Amino acid sequence: MHTTHAARHRKAAVVLAAGALALSLGIESGGRATAAPASAQGDVVAAAKPRFQMPFACDTHWRLDTYDGGHNPALDIVVKGNTGSSGKNVLTGYKGKVARTFWDRGAGNVIVIDHGSGWYTAYYHLRDKHDKYVQKGDSVTAGTRIGHIGATGANSGGWAHLHYEQRYKTNGIPTEADRKPVHFNGKQYTGTGSTWRDVVSKNC
């Protein structure tokens, strides 16, 4: 049956509206609602984001992975080629203040840093005790050492890597539900099943 021009427009509008609703809820294939990515929350949030750098020494090379929909937009990071990651220094990529340091059964030694304006970063599986290098309330600058890459916590899988998150919440310390797509040096690294095999740190 022939569809009129107006009817086609109505159908397209319904499809677009449904797509927008699904995006805002972050519905995964399993039907679980997750936090919507920053791109779905409007440009106001993105405009306020600090210019985060990688949490590693300047000019070092790294591999970044997002894995599945339950992990993305968090990143798992290892040395390029996944050789010798254990014990590498973990640095802050922007100035801020330590919001929390704690042990978690799955995440191991964890540090969360408040960078102001609602933006936070989180670091999992650190090798050393979570408060060995920094404690809650300490001020940090870009390049401050907060720990070393490790494999602590049941969710590390026993292999040394840094689980890294950028979070946004306007009131209170954000949780994993408040994760946003990661940016380093103004470039976005996000997307389910994505891998970047050679990213150079500009935390100089």
39, part of any domain: no
Q: Is residue 128 part of a domain?
A: yes
Domain total of the chain: 2
- Inter-residue contact 98 to 144 (CB < 8 Å): no
The CA distance from 143 to 136, in Å, is 18
Q: Helices marked H in the chain — which ranges?
A: 5-25, 43-47
Is residue 102 included in any domain, yes or no? yes
Q: Read off φ and ψ for residue 3, nearest 5 degrees.
A: -100, 130
Question: At 140, which CATH number?
Answer: 2.70.70.10
Cβ atoms of residues 176 and 165 within 8 Å: yes
Same domain, 18 and 64: no
Amino acid at 88: K
Answer for the pair 143, 203: CB distance below 8 angstroms, yes or no.
yes
- CA dist., res. 102 & res. 120, Å (int): 15
What Cα–Cα distance (Å) separates residue 96 from each residue in 21, 51, 115, 141? 35, 12, 4, 6
Q: Supply the pTM of this predicted model.
A: 0.78
Give, in order, the Cα–Cα distances in Å from 131 to each of 31, 71, 145: 38, 25, 12
Domain shared by 116 and 182, yes or no: yes
Closest CA to 55 of 151, 177, 149: 149
Same domain membership, residue 146 and residue 121: yes
Give yes or no: residues 9 and 72 share one domain: no
Tell me the average confidence (pLDDT) per consecutive run of 10 residues in the chain, 204 residues long.
41 37 31 37 58 98 97 98 95 98 98 97 98 98 98 97 97 96 97 98 97
What is the domain extent for residue 183?
46-200
